[in-house]
Structures are given as C-alpha cells and as structure tokens.
Structure 1
Amino acid sequence: MRQAKVKTYAKINMVLNCLYKRDDGYHEISSIMQAISLHDNINLKPAGEIILNSNSTLIPLDEKNFAFKAAQLVISKYPSIKGVEIYIDKKIPIEAGLAGGSTNAAGVILGMNKLFNLKMTTSEMIEVAEQIGSDVPFGIIGPTALSTGRGTNVSPIPEAPLLWVVLLKPDFGVSTPKVYSNMKEQMFEKTDNIKGFLGALERKDQDYILGNLVNTLEKSTFALYPKVQEIKDFFIRNTKHSLMAGSGPTVFALFPNEIEAINFKDSIPPDYGKAYLAQTIDSKEIHERVIIDEKEN
C-alpha cells in the first residue's frame, strides 16, 4: 500500500524573547528557531477513518494529540479523504520544550499533502498549522525561522551554520501555561536582539551566534522548577554556550565541533536525566523529510 514516511525534527530556540502580555491573554514573543537532527518518524497510510498509534505509551491517541487534530483539519478541508492511519515512532522526549508534538502535527500535514496529492502550497499548509498550535507552522517551514506575535507568525531566515547540540531532558515536565503566567514585568526582554542575530546568520558568524543565546522564559521556569536551574548551572560551569529550550525543562549546549559535544555529553551526571546528541540541520534535510513509498505490503 502507498504510504508516506516523514521525519519530524525537534526544535530549539536560539533566541526566545517574551516581550509583554497582550490584551488577548497571549504573550507577544520574538524568537529565532532552529531544527535539529533529533527526530520522530511518522508513517501515514490511507484508511477509512483516522487511526493513531505510537511506540510511546505517554502520548494521547485521540484528538488531544496534535497529529490527530492535524489529520482532522486536512480531512475537513478535503472531504474526499475518508481517513488516514498514522504511526508515530517517538524519539523526541515528551514534554521537553522541543516542540515534538507540534512538529508531529506539521509532519502529518506535510505527509498527507504528498500521500493524497493535495498540492497544498506552503501558505495553505501554514493556514492549517496555525489552527493547531504556536510551534506547528515552524514545523512546516524549517530549518531556521523567525517567529513573532504569539508564535504563529513564522518566516524563513538564513540558515544557521552547522553546530553540534547536546540536550539534557530531566525526568519531569513543566507546565508551559504556568511558566508564561508566572512572567513578571521585570522578566520581559527590553532590548532588540533579533536584528543582530539575523545579521550573524546572514554572515554565518558562528562566534556571534554562540555568544548571544537568549531565553527570557528561563527566569520564570527557574523560579517554578529549581531543578532546571541546577541543570543549567551545571551546563554553565562546563560549557561556554548553553540555554533552556522553550519553556523547559530541557537544557542544551551548542558546540562548534563533534568531539567537544561528545566529551561534554559523556560528563553529564546520569541522575540529571537523559542526554541526547544532535546537530543543526539545513534546507536539504527539510526538503527530503517526506518520502512516498509505493511498495505493496
């Protein structure tokens, strides 16, 4: 049976500015997001209804899952599609601040577009993605993007240079709504750091990129979850360039070469959580993430 195979990549924020709370209750942000090689694998097949399965027992298998919701929205747009069978092979840790669920949803949109020959444009796929969650449009665009507004206004920007990434996911999650609601006026970012970072990406200025990582949500998350600050402190003592991912609890460090990254990963105390090694990806990997398999099963 014809099927689509999709790689859905984890996301880190190299810059994440929480600027102020908007009148609609959301927070205004500006963020530079980067896809990394850590990824889930999704298989999609035509079916008579939406069927979702996974190797993970930690994710919902109904409309609470962004991937399921993505399939519902695509089918509502194209009613000739009766259903789709989705299998998610999870490798990205759950509740990690790495947008795993969001990029799964984007993968379903991308995969269904190819599987059913829908010929949706990128803009049309983003319109679907925006209805699901703030990070889902990034999963359509990748590998490097600027996000503004409440996070759904996403535009491609010059790709980051190749960097190695070591991530540490502790054995607990954090509540993203709680992190945002805990943001106080003095925690909001007051400086415009986006323009300089965009210039560095254009120049492929690795030193500037590594030296100007920012996440204003750290202050809020650290106050609520002191263990995350303990992990970040360990990273600061042992690496030059580290940051919390999204609203946490994952902390990551960036390295210019693989050897440094491996040596640091091997030094992380096991009781802090699970460590991962990855690297930034480029547009070639984004363009090749959906494969159509015509083989008969």
Structure 2
Amino acid sequence: MLTVQAYAKINLALDVLYKRPDGYHEVAMIMQAVNLADTVTLTSQTGDITLNVNILGLPGDASNLAYRAAALLQEYAEPGQGVHIELDKQIPLAAGLAGGSADAAAVLKGLNELWGLDLSLDELGKLAAKLGSDVPFCLYNGTKLATGRGELLAPLPALPACYVVLAKPAIEVPTAWVYRQFKVEQAGRRPDIAAMSKYLAEGNLAGVAANVANVLESVTIPAYPEIARIKDHMLAYGAMAALMSGSGPTVFGIVGCRDQAEAIAGRLRDEGVPEVFVAETV
C-alpha cells in the first residue's frame, strides 16, 4: 500500500493566445502548486482497477481521471497487475484547482513506485499529457511556466513564501464553455509573463502580486458576478492580490502572513462563501 498527496494548483498568470488547428487553445500560464490536497491511497491487487471516492456521486469508473491514469500505466506493468485506488477528496470539484488532474498525477507517480516500473519523471510526463493539459504540471508541482495547451513546462524560481486563501462560491463553471466563449479582443488585461518571471527570479512577492492576471475572467466574471465580489472583498480585507484560478470559479488571495490569511478566510466564511481554505505554496 502507498499513499500520495495530490496537490491543487493556482494560476498566477493565464493568457490564451489563439485557437489551434487541433481544437485546443494555445496558452501561456504561470502555475503554482499549493498544499490543499487530496489523499490518494493505492493498494496492489490482482486483475482489475477499482476506485472508491469519499464524495457521493463522483464516478469510480473509467470516466475518472485517476482510473484512466492507472489503466494507462497498466500497459507497462506485469500481466494481471491491478490496483485499488482510494480517493479522499479535499480539493473542491469543478473549481479551477485541477483536483482531478492532481489525482491522476498522484496515481501515475504512486503506481510507478508501487509496481516497480522505474519510469523516469519525464517518461511519466509524456503519459500525463495524454490524460489532460494540467496533469503534467500536477506531476512536477512547484512553480512552472506552462505553454502549448498547458503540457509544455519550464521551471521558474519558486514563489516567495506566502499564504494563499482559496474561496470557492457555490457555482460550477464548465471549463469547455469558458474557452468556447473566450474572445482575444475582449480579454482585457493580459498577463506580462516576462515581468512575472523577473519578479519570481528576484524573490519579489509584491511584484508578483501586482502582476497576477487571468484573461478567462473576461468570460467567467460577467456570467458569475459573485467571483468579482469575492475578489473585491479579499482585497478589502488585506490580500496583496486576488485572482480567479483557471476557468473558475475559485478565487485565490496572496497574503504575507498566516494570521492575516486566517482572518480573511474567517470573514469570507462569515459572509457565506461555502468552501474557504488557507494553503501554503508547494
């Protein structure tokens, strides 16, 4: 048996450049792992892949990315090798935090060890790209520049130590819908990836905070104004920056100290935001 933590991600910067011939969008993103995590427990068994999830209604079949990750690695394992996957979900669903992708990456990493496959991290990364655009990042974690459809990763200096308040309103935002609605000419403020990279290299948290930007807010916020309200309140309560993660609806705030992060989280809970967490960077 092996237990692996599956870390959530936020997007410090997210730019959509154009629609590619293959139907995906070309993106440029700065992604950051945070320690809000699902726990993935893997137990070897003979034959089948089985999956149990602690959330009622979340599928435990081949439509689940964690199951698909195990099936992909099964091709490299001894004949008859199976696994039981236990998912303890703590990352909110459909939140823009890559919870499903994180679970898939944890299964790839864990089964590579449990089954003794000896695949390198880069070999696992190629398999991860087959599962989804965020899965490769969730395999490596840390702070990365992601390009292509999100699967091409380059390391960046770590985000200076800070706390992240995560607040998810009672909204589900379909990622595919957001990308279908996105129009480059209506994107508003675009991320300055070069400036953000420079501030990361300098260890300048204030510079990073001043440059967070996500063009998908131009689609999601007009449809779901609650996201803008949470952003405004985070800033009013003292966050250095507040931004929607991914296609939403989760908003994250960058905060310098734990006490202030906990205070902001408490005020958001008091206002009725149903899922609020305080996390640190990974």
Q: What TM-score does the superposition give when structure 1 sets the normalisation length?
A: 0.89
CA contact (8 A) 1:46 1:84 kept: yes
Shift of residue 185 of structure 1?
A: 2.8
Residue 279 (1) aligns with residue 280 (2): yes
Q: Given residue 267 of structure 2, which amino acid in structure 1 is its aligned partner?
A: S
Change (3 A) 1:232 1:198: same
Shift of residue 20 of structure 1?
A: 1.7
Structure 2 gap ranges (5+) = none
CA contact (8 A) 1:17 1:189 kept: no
Shift of residue 229 of structure 1?
A: 2.5
Shift of residue 221 of structure 1?
A: 0.5
Q: How does 1:157-236 map to 2 (within 5 A)?
A: 157-188=156-187, 193-236=192-235
Give the number of aligned pairs: 279
| CA distance in structure 1 between the partners assigned to 2:170 and 2:216 by the alignment | 20
CA contact (8 A) 1:18 1:29 kept: yes
Change (3 A) 1:255 1:197: same
Q: What TM-score does the superposition give when structure 2 sets the normalisation length?
A: 0.94
Aligned counterpart, 1:59: 58
CA contact (8 A) 2:234 2:264 kept: no
Q: Helix, strand or coil: the match of 1:68?
A: helix
Residue deviations 1:5-47 (CA, integer Å, cap 9, x gap): 1011110011111122222221111001111011111110111
CA contact (8 A) 2:191 2:212 kept: no
Q: Given residue 70 of structure 1, which amino acid in structure 2 is its aligned partner?
A: A
| CA distance in structure 2 between the partners assigned to 1:56 and 1:21 by the alignment | 35
Q: How does 1:67-146 map to 2 (within 5 A)?
A: 67-80=66-79, 82-146=81-145
Aligned counterpart, 1:260: 260
Q: Helix, strand or coil: the match of 2:272?
A: helix
Post-superposition, which runs of at least 4 consecutive aligned residues in structure 1 deviate over 6 A?
A: none
Q: Helix, strand or coil: the match of 1:105?
A: helix
Aligned counterpart, 1:287: none
User: Which one is further off, 155-164 or 226-235?
Assistant: 226-235
Q: Given residue 196 of structure 2, which amino acid in structure 1 is its aligned partner?
A: F
Residue deviations 1:74-114 (CA, integer Å, cap 9, x gap): 00233535211100111111111100000100000000011
CA contact (8 A) 2:125 2:139 kept: yes
Aligned counterpart, 1:14: 12
| CA distance in structure 2 between the partners assigned to 1:136 and 1:279 by the alignment | 20
CA contact (8 A) 2:77 2:115 kept: no
Task: State the identity as a percent.
Answer: 38
Residue deviations 1:147-177 (CA, integer Å, cap 9, x gap): 0011111222211111101111112211001
Aligned counterpart, 1:35: 33
Structure 1 gap ranges (5+) = 282-297
Q: Given residue 253 of structure 2, which amino acid in structure 1 is its aligned partner?
A: A
Q: Given residue 228 of structure 2, which amino acid in structure 1 is its aligned partner?
A: Q
Change (3 A) 1:13 1:81: farther
Q: Helix, strand or coil: the match of 1:83?
A: strand
| CA distance in structure 2 between the partners assigned to 1:192 and 1:257 by the alignment | 25
Shift of residue 191 of structure 1?
A: 5.5
CA contact (8 A) 1:244 1:251 kept: yes
C-alpha root-mean-square deviation of aligned residues, in Å?
A: 1.6
Change (3 A) 1:252 1:191: closer
